[in-house]
Amino acid sequence: MYLNLDAQKNNTYDAIVIGSGISGGWAAKELTEKGLRTLVLERGRDVKHVTDYPTTMSAPWEMAHRGRLPLEIAERVPIQRKTGPAANEYSNHFFVKDDEHPYTQVKPFDWTRGYQVGGKSLMWARWVQRWNEDNFEENAREGIGVDWPIRYKDMAPWYSYVEKFIGVAGNKDGIKTLPDGEFLPPFELNCLEKHFQKTVAKYYNDRHFIISRTANLSKPSAIHTALGRSACQSRNWCSRGCPFGAYFSTQSSTLPAAVKTGKLTLLPFSIVHSIIYDDKKGKATGVRVIDANTLAMTEYYARIIFVNAGTLNSTAIMMNSVSHRFPNGLGNDSGALGHYLMDHNYRIRVSGVYEGRDFDDHYYFGRRPAGSYVPRFRNLGNDRQKDFVRGYAYACGAGRQGWERGSGNLEFGSEFKESMTRPGRWTFSMTGMGEMLPHIDNKIELDHDKKDKWGLPTLKIDCRWNENEDKMVLDAIEQAQEMMHRAGIKVTAAFDNHQAPGLAIHEMGTARMGRDPKTSVLNGFNQVHACKNVFVSDGACMASSACQNPSLTYMALTARAADYAVKEMKKQNL
């Protein structure tokens, strides 16, 4: 019997990154560009840029089912199809099949997943708003959760760094609660949105209506064209994969940058079982990986490990990484691992029809990949306005009804065909996007009695809205109706859709950052308190959720953590 030392040497890298989505792709880029031989492990299949976007140029009549999801697939994805892109024939192949990836909903939680190289960066909403100073301070000020170990000033340069690379179309609006960034030219509001903007400015001192800040290239710069990216064509078929590289994804941006270094090794179909912790060395030494096809187990080794598998999967890996030192999961001295699960509160829906006729001769060109946005205006600073804490924003949009609206009593003939050429009324919609507070009872656990087909314990997810979220919904519905009424928009629907947590696809918080190892898992550099060479910089690290779309913050945190990790390696601290 002998040890295969060559095999261990061949499986040893400077860094290992678990996951290849929005944050994992950034970890790969940053670590390879800093000279580290980096292994990226992805549990799903490979997806090549352009060539593996099978529907990206397909018109409805070119699809076998005209874009609708066939029944035999729909029956396999009852959770995934609750999201827009997963519910159609164009994008469903980027989402998991629920029957292959079971989990237990102790309370309803709709877990949306995309298991492939690039993860959900292929079909994300691309809205990128910075957090502001308040967002990092409110926990401490209000005694909720734990104090963030960082502040806006720590993040500002990293927001700028990320924005320049990914390409963000937006306008410098000068709003304190939504800091400006490094922007490409913005997309344009349409005529009804400009009218709504004027109305908001007229009636409110505390509110703003702006074009959304979105990671689509309105006008590429040299950093983008060098990677083969080109301008957005305003098709708004982003969730199919963009052959122009016009929106930010792992495939179009961070992965090509990492490949250029010659330092990247990418292994698809590699499901991480656990992180290996060496009790004698007092650090993690590698990861155990299951081949998704053969079920063979392989160990890979590295000096540092970045865990970026997505909030719940990253946490599950850490919980499954037990050792003599960590019997309850890697880094779980505090008992916080798996707790304080959050999602954004997207239950608010308000829509209406513009009653004026002054825009009847107006239309717009193309399918703008951006929406419009009302930043948070409730409970800012020390100004507590309502019987709930924190606040909400609105994702908005205006457009004209098309031929799909129907033709009234016209059933056939020239009159019917003529009616199909005329656009309908102008409509306006607002979706409230509220902050969810961290609660210890919102949690995940490993279910060792129910294994998946790879032999890993499945998850039990126990999460619900609390009173603060419910009160926020009522206020958001009321304020949306008030603003629309003042803009001459007749509200036709205003309701709480009562959707379960999860459908915002912004799960966060189950391995949170904090100042005190007794109440948190990670420090201010996304480093596991008790295992210094492991970093977690996806949504699991979040100590609160704010109400902004979180992906920009994940990317900035990852770039910052990678910079710190490499500096610590050079100092021989890792």
What type of residue is 386?
K
Please state, in angstroms and rounded to a whole number, the distance separating the CA atoms of residues 565 and 574.
8
pTM over 0.85: yes
Q: From 455, 569, 571, 545, select the one nearest 38 (Cα to Cα).
A: 569
Q: What is the pLDDT of residue 416?
A: 73
| 191-203 and 467-486 helices, crossing angle to 10° | 110
pLDDT in tens, the chain (574 residues): 344 556 688 899 999 999 999 999 999 999 999 999 999 999 999 999 999 999 999 999 999 999 999 999 999 999 999 988 888 999 999 999 999 999 999 999 999 999 999 999 999 999 999 999 999 999 999 999 999 999 999 999 999 999 999 999 999 999 999 999 999 999 999 999 999 999 999 999 999 999 999 999 999 999 999 999 999 999 999 999 999 999 999 999 999 999 999 999 999 999 999 999 999 999 999 999 999 999 999 999 999 999 999 999 999 999 999 999 999 999 999 999 999 999 999 999 999 999 999 998 888 888 999 999 999 999 998 777 779 999 999 999 999 987 555 555 556 677 777 777 778 899 999 999 999 999 999 999 999 999 999 999 999 999 999 999 999 999 999 999 999 999 999 999 999 999 999 999 999 999 999 999 999 999 999 999 999 999 999 999 999 999 999 999 999 999 999 999 999 999 999 9
Please state, in angstroms and rounded to a whole number, the distance separating the CA atoms of residues 543 and 520.
9
Q: What is the pLDDT of residue 185?
A: 97
Q: What is the pLDDT of residue 417?
A: 74
Q: What is the pLDDT of residue 2?
A: 43
How many Å separate Cα 211 from the centre of its chain?
19
Q: What is the pLDDT of residue 296?
A: 97
| 210-211 and 489-496 strand pairing | unpaired
Q: From 266, 313, 293, 252, select the one nearest 115 (Cα to Cα).
A: 313
Eight-state DSSP code of residue 408: T
| SS3 assignment for 464-527 | CCCHHHHHHHHHHHHHHHHHHHHCCEEEEEEEECCCCCCCCCCCECCCCECCCCCCCCECCCCE
Contact 307, 534 (CB under 8 A): yes
Q: What is the pLDDT of residue 1?
A: 39
| 457-462 and 104-105 strand pairing | parallel
Contact 507, 500 (CB under 8 A): no
Q: What is the pLDDT of residue 92?
A: 95
In this predicted model, what pLDDT tens digit does every residue of 507-564 receive, in sequence order?
999 999 999 999 999 999 999 999 999 999 999 999 999 999 999 999 999 999 999 9
State the Cα angle at 317 between 572 and 277, rounded to 5°: 40
Q: What is the pLDDT of residue 343?
A: 98
Q: Residue written as tokens 């989402």?
A: 95
